[in-house]
A and B are shown apart, each in its own frame.
Chain A
């Protein structure tokens, strides 16, 4: 699934452990420290670019004193998506233990917001009994911004299985709640200060590998000048290398406060014009191979050039054992890019276009989109996104879709209904109001090119998103209307769109109380076969259908339908998938029907938990009310009331809750929940206050105490207290300030 975006070969480059280059200075003391950390959970190597983090970790792995195998993952910007991130982590772990993570991988696409339960916890259980310990390396962790990912890694660290040790290399301190681990002595930390080259190490680098033949005094000078920064030393040394009088040059650096960028400029100036041109042009690439370099430079000497760069110690890192893929050290690439934009500013766009074309031809969607965007080829990027967003979204990588679209200028997105819609779908499970705003934007947006995802028209696609949104948001009337609009627009009755529209219609009709219409729509939907990417839809449809069949009195049919639903859930590993909430609700209802209270409670609990994860309000409220009824029946009235109050809070967020509103009022009456005991914040529809009450209210808005108010009005203190209590009840508030504010809002004052 992660491979759907990139060739397997490219995936392999992310898992490749960088080898220790001959000529690299081995940081023996540091490696010894890392090998010796026993009983620690985490090794954190935290320093800015160019201090030698990756090198240190690869030296640690290569050390003869370190017996454990390493599972290595080099992170990219694109891995900032929880589903993709964990797919790669599992892939990395599989380089050591090939059988690991099958269940987690299967559940990943549907995990949505229950990542920890569905993916991380099973993985931890699989790792725990392993006999051979191993190390998981996450390189360039600073590229991860997603809170979901941080939480899942923090969870992993809190419950770390004994055989696993985690090593993170990052340019910034990761937000992983490390204070606790630090206090418990579970972290081995290596920071910039630790990574500084000593004079001995500097000597080994400058006079050993680079053979500069410098005197000790000069070595010290360079070391001090660069403050022991590996990349700085390397670049300064490279700029000194071609000179006759290196001593004089090093001396001149002493009083100089030039920055690293100047050294690069000199190093570049020393290369042949052809090699310089090669370096600058290929700097736009995240990863390089000879054919790609040729495509970008427009020549056919990529192989030789790469070899030359490699030989010259020019910061080229090998990404596999076949000498096929490379990348530049991040720092070097950044500097090259700045140089390119300074020297030939118009060229970069063209180079990106060529790279985009090369990747597009090979089906590397992620890279193609990135380069098209960087080239300013927004039409090209839009086409790629329009074509590929749907399967990526269905595979659970919503944040990837969001990231692609967010990288485009706002005007471009608002000028393309397809992009607005995709962005709306990406927001559906996390931010309902934002999803609705995107739907609205899609309605107004033009369609500059045809749909590539199977949608027939803007009206149909917008109606579909609107129905999905309204069903989650608790607006039954709107969902019904939108689903019907979508159905009216669909010409191809056998298309997936028809099925999906019917499911939305069925779900909405169910909560609208029209069981006949709901059953018809859901039956129609369940009869057609949809592709794998819409399989989640059949679970929802069948689950809801089962509930309807039970409610219309056919328990046996309901059982059969539920069995079918659960078979589908098994196949899709969807038991913890949020969209299965309606299926769990149906299971609860069936259990209840057969008197299995315990089973019913568990099923309703699961339904509510999953429904909350995607803000499916009506299912949440419905589940809570079912649980409340069970509580009431066993005499647990306090719990029952609490659940009903919660259900009311949820229902109040719904613009049109349909029959759930009825269910709620019935439950409130059964538990004798008087209006005053409804959740504070409930705005009463009509409030009538007596003259007396109004008078008291006005005075409550002053700074007079209740005793003083009583004195003002020539009544007893108890009378004022009584009026105040009544006021609070009628206005649905609990404080004086709230009472006054609410009264003003209702224009009573």
Chain B
């Protein structure tokens, strides 16, 4: 079930300040929910296709961004140095043609997600535009108990 950005406010409890990080995608992405294990496979570049003809494009915030810190700590469990080396090695092993694309702001992330079929980005859950959808992780949205990215 697709969840648009405007629905997120109702999913969060009133008055809650959230630093949760949301995974956003175009509404036409044929995936609405990922298990955490599956999300990790996508982020590690082990899963590179959503469907046979729709390739995954990863957009990751530049170093220093809170969203990047959350992704590195929670999903990759890597330091900056380990993350760099991981992707250099991944490409060198011919397992991927490129590392995740770096974006420098949430606005840039959401603009590129809207333009690139198959792209996903990690943005502040409070800054998701209405025209993008938020992917659930293990059936949970940002702000719900058990949501892992914060």
- Our verdict on whether A and B bind, yes or no, reads no
What is the interface of chain B, defined by CB distance below 8 A to chain A? none
